[in-house]
Structure 1
Amino acid sequence: MCKMSFKKETPLANAAFWAARRGNLALLRLLLNSGRVDVDCRDSSGTTALFFAAQQGHNDVVRFLFEFGASTECRTKDGGTALLAASQYGHMQVVETLLKHGANIHDQLYDGATALFLAAQGGYLDVIRLLLSSGAKVNQPRQDGTAPLWIASQMGHSEVVRVMLLRGADRDAARNNGTSALHAAVLSGNIKTVALLLEAGADPALRNKANELPAELTKNERILRLLRSKEGHRKS
């Protein structure tokens, strides 16, 4: 269990944070073995050494911190955890280590973003596969209704979109403003992503809250042909 109180930062604590960020295992070992630094000490933003190490992808440091009882439950002021940080930056080995040590696959930032969402945003396919196989919810949205499939579509990560669709992602799930993943893909101009969504059955006739069809959001002729071909199939 992570201690919720924020202790005043000390020079030794700051040295531990620096060592975790830089992957300096020797210095971190010296500091923790001294008994003068709490493994879960936090800076003014609530960030721990484990978070810093996870964010930077230092898996050896992450494993070492667990030897001293580091908690996976500590949160930064925006709700960030070590698992969320590792997922956001695509550090698969760190994600795997954190999960093995009890990190919560359903952790969310205070805006609702999950580890899967953050990995989808970055296009980290290996992390996404690991999270999904570990029980991550493929359709869990942020508070604004943005699902992992939507953000992957917006970013043009077509292989991520393909995997998520195969794992049951809702192809027509819309944000709070009514825009679907197909709207997002069309706006991004990623032809492969648009094609994947349409092949999976995404509806080109869905309108957002501004009453716009996906086809009304682009002048790209290849995308327009794709959309019109699917509209024709639906009508027939």
Structure 2
Amino acid sequence: MSFKRETPLANAVFWAARKGNLALLQLLLNSGRVDADCRDSYGTTALMVASYSGHNDCVKELIMHGADINYQRETGSTALFFAAQQGHHDAAKLLFEFGASTEFQTKDGGTALTVASQYGHSKVVDILLKNGANVHDQLNDGATPLFLAAQEGHVTVIRQLLSSGAKVNQAREDGTAPLWMAAQMGHNEVAKVLLLRGADRDADRHDGSTALFKAALKGHSGVIEELLKFSPSLGLLKNGSSALHAAVMGGNLRTILLLLGANADPMLPNKNNELPADLTKSERILKLLHPQMINGDS
């Protein structure tokens, strides 16, 4: 966290808040020569710095001297946002005791809950939800706390959010659902949890790709194993290709074997009339596909 300090006294207050030097902070605040809400040119306050650093004594001292708990810096961030971002659950609790709000947003739509979910701070997520945080918060691009947790692979947070009513199929503006993102990132445990909680196995993005297609392209066999338990589509997708085409392009033998074992059709052409075998020069992959192609011909 960076900030520009405007005066020597403000500089000292910020330093004390960042380092957790309560004695110096008390001395400065009691002097009457510096405001508890002194700010830098970005609007950063000492309370934000103390919350970011997790120094609870300093947080409380600043609040007792009248620091504005819900003040937003230039980016829209508040003290609670910074405590949530860094996983300081005790600081978050303290801020709530003195009236912190979960409703303030950053310029990109971020809230304390979205950032805590993104970084996997489950204790903070629990505190936020118990204090009225909206599980349906969205960034400007439509990403929800559940989406962000799925992207980063935070299974515990995902379970918390789903138990609090998060919509498992809520997609980002580009059509990307949490399951699709988990598949892209290779988070098979996340995929498992989402599927068991009703995620649409065949939900596609605006580009027509599904979670299975993306996992096949990336070679994430663990995710594919979870998806295949729910019988996803192995045929042509809206993008004019199949998961097997994607697996062959990705070049992962395990992925190809999984799809063939699930009866993916190697004789199914894509929109360009190409068979999966037309998309590779690997002899090992062709040997996997050829027996299936012979069976298909017969």
TM-score (norm 1): 0.91
Rounded Cα–Cα distance in structure 2 between residues aligned with 1:131 and 1:84: 11
SS of the residue aligned with 1:197? helix
Instruction: Give the C-alpha shift of residue 9 in structure 1.
Output: 7.1
Show the counterpart of 2:59. 28
Show the counterpart of 2:256. 224
Q: Are 2:85 and 1:55 equivalent residues in the alignment?
A: yes
Show the counterpart of 1:134. 164
**Equivalent residues in 2 for 1:103-114, closer than 5 Å:** 103-114=133-144
Query: Considering only aligned residues, what root-mean-square deviation do their CA atoms show, in Å?
Result: 1.9
**Equivalent residues in 2 for 1:69-148, closer than 5 Å:** 69-148=99-178
Show the counterpart of 1:3. none
Rounded Cα–Cα distance in structure 2 between residues aligned with 1:25 and 1:88: 23
Q: Deviations over 1:143-178 (max 9, x none)?
A: 000000010111111011011111110000000100
Q: Are 2:193 and 1:159 equivalent residues in the alignment?
A: no
SS of the residue aligned with 2:47? helix
Show the counterpart of 1:180. 210
Query: Aligned letter for 1:142?
Result: R
Show the counterpart of 2:242. 213
Is the contact made by 1:54 and 1:86 (CA closer than 8 Å) also made in structure 2?
yes
Show the counterpart of 1:4. none
Q: Deviations over 1:121-143 (max 9, x none)?
A: 11111111111111110000000
SS of the residue aligned with 1:231? coil
Query: Aligned letter for 1:147?
Result: A
SS of the residue aligned with 1:42? coil
SS of the residue aligned with 1:40? coil
Rounded Cα–Cα distance in structure 2 between residues aligned with 1:221 and 1:93: 40
Rounded Cα–Cα distance in structure 2 between residues aligned with 1:195 and 1:59: 36
Instruction: Give the C-alpha shift of residue 232 in structure 1.
Output: 5.2
- In the alignment, structure 2 segments of 5+ residues that lack a partner are 1-36, 269-295
- In the alignment, structure 1 segments of 5+ residues that lack a partner are 1-7
TM-score (norm 2): 0.72
Rounded Cα–Cα distance in structure 2 between residues aligned with 1:113 and 1:133: 18
Rounded Cα–Cα distance in structure 2 between residues aligned with 1:78 and 1:110: 5
SS of the residue aligned with 2:116? helix
Aligned pair count reads: 226
Segment drifting more, 78-87 vs 17-26: 17-26
CA separation of 1:80/1:146 partners in 2, compared to 1, >3 Å: closer, same or farther?
same
Query: Aligned letter for 2:242?
Result: L
Rounded Cα–Cα distance in structure 2 between residues aligned with 1:149 and 1:179: 12
CA separation of 1:32/1:197 partners in 2, compared to 1, >3 Å: closer, same or farther?
same
Rounded Cα–Cα distance in structure 1 between residues aligned with 2:186 and 2:50: 36
Is the contact made by 1:84 and 1:114 (CA closer than 8 Å) also made in structure 2?
yes
Rounded Cα–Cα distance in structure 1 between residues aligned with 2:60 and 2:264: 65
Show the counterpart of 1:41. 71
Is the contact made by 2:38 and 2:46 (CA closer than 8 Å) also made in structure 1?
no
Rounded Cα–Cα distance in structure 1 between residues aligned with 2:224 and 2:197: 18
